[in-house]
Structure 1
Amino acid sequence: MKTLSLLFSISMVLWIVSEIIYKQTLKSGAADKKDKDKSTLNILWIVFLISIASAVTISYRTRFPVSEGLWIKYMGEFLILSGLLLRFIIIRSLGKYFTVDVTIKKDHKIKKEGFYRWVRHPSYSASLLTFLGLGIYLNNWISLVLAVIPPLLAFNHRIKVEEQALVEQFGEEYIEYRKSTRKIIPFIY
């Protein structure tokens, strides 16, 4: 159990540090159209920090277990690490077109292969997988709701803003792409 707790602590630090690094290094450039974000990056950070803090706090103050078995913590940790790894891979796959703020690059193209074949926002999908893992690891129904629902709502707001910018830039091409894919959960949503 101590090893699992240590792994959880390391993965939480890795999660927060990686997001800080992404925020500092993957911002839009001077030549990019960056008036599209509408403060969604700030909203995401506020919601995420409150969501994580409240989920962890509630898990220590109340007991509404998802399961009595230790397997639930292992599953949660697996989902956390899977979400972190997938997000890293997805960010790398988009390359120079990935920015943390809603931005349209000068030579931007719609990516439709890889993860983008199934969902339009796989980076958000991976983040939600990490939040889901956190909620499951904490093994508390209230913590699970607090870990998943606020980030999902924040991502939905961000997606609305982002897709508006993409439709303005790409018009019918993006509208057609949107018809053939899901937002963040393959085959479902």
Structure 2
Amino acid sequence: MSTEVRASALTLVGLVVFGVLLFGPAGTFGYWQGWVFLAVVILSAALPSVYVFRAQPATLERRMQVGQENRAAQRVAVVLLLASFAGAMVLGGFDHRFGWSSVPVAVVLLGDVLVAVGMVLSIVVVAQNEYAAANVTVEGRQEVVSTGLYAIVRHPMYAVSLLATVGMPLALGSWWAMWFVVPAASALVIRIRDEERLLLQELAGYRDYVHEVRSRLIPFVW
């Protein structure tokens, strides 16, 4: 099976899983916030990624290796991230069913915008750095990227993921689901700290890059 076919299959499976996590707890398909969220995911991530990954097939292969981590800290971070995303969707669905939150439509749409911006920028990160793999590793020909979004923070993929993570509960119309931002952000911190230990040891020029770009995740904060 070709890489593109496998990627398409995984995308379809992912959307089905998202649908189950959203509409199962909601107990109805009349969860409009869930439908808009899925549409945003498709339009801002799945479709643009087709163009980028056709131009960079090796990058597509790297991005499909999510979960195949060799480092214990990275495995913990990935499980925590996935659990946080799933938890936010499930709680958002239950919130809709039982009416725990009253989130204005404007705030829901703001959440969708944050999700869309985060996902589009994640594709930009991949376009700027072909070694932006799903797993933490250093390849033989890999070089430090210090331009584009990498000139703002050292880990732009995680920064834009955090942006989308904050937007997701709002997009789903659930104040309660915002609690899952905390473990998700913690997972990103764990991932970054462990990844930087590896990069400082194995990626030539990374130590100079650290001194050049001070912020890891959020500009002027951390």
TM superposition score normalised by structure 1: 0.76
2:191 maps to 1:168: no
2:121 maps to 1:86: yes
User: Does structure 2 conserve the Cα–Cα contact (< 8 Å) formed by 1:83 and 1:126?
Assistant: yes
Larger RCO, structure (CA 8 Å, separation 6 or more): 1
- 1:26-50 Cα deviation digits (max 9, x unpaired): 1699xxxxxx840455434422332
User: Does structure 2 conserve the Cα–Cα contact (< 8 Å) formed by 1:120 and 1:182?
Assistant: yes
Question: What is the aligned partner in structure 2 of residue 33 from structure 1?
Answer: none
Please list, as runs of the form range in 1=range in 2, the aligned pairs for 1:34-183 lying within 5 A after superposition: 37-40=70-73, 42-59=75-92, 60-61=94-95, 63-65=100-102, 67=103, 69-95=104-130, 97-146=131-180, 148-170=181-203, 173-179=205-211, 180-183=213-216
User: Does structure 2 conserve the Cα–Cα contact (< 8 Å) formed by 1:118 and 1:187?
Assistant: no
Taking structure 1 as reference, are residues 142 and 93 closer, same or farther at Cα in structure 2, changes over 3 Å only? same
TM superposition score normalised by structure 2: 0.66
Q: Percent identity?
A: 22
User: Does structure 1 conserve the Cα–Cα contact (< 8 Å) formed by 2:62 and 2:133?
Assistant: yes
Question: Where do 5+ consecutive residues of structure 2 fail to align?
Answer: 1-29
Taking structure 1 as reference, are residues 80 and 188 closer, same or farther at Cα in structure 2, changes over 3 Å only? same
2:219 maps to 1:186: yes
Question: Where do 5+ consecutive residues of structure 1 fail to align?
Answer: 30-35
- 1:102-124 Cα deviation digits (max 9, x unpaired): 11111222111111111000011
User: Does structure 2 conserve the Cα–Cα contact (< 8 Å) formed by 1:55 and 1:135?
Assistant: yes
2:41 maps to 1:6: no
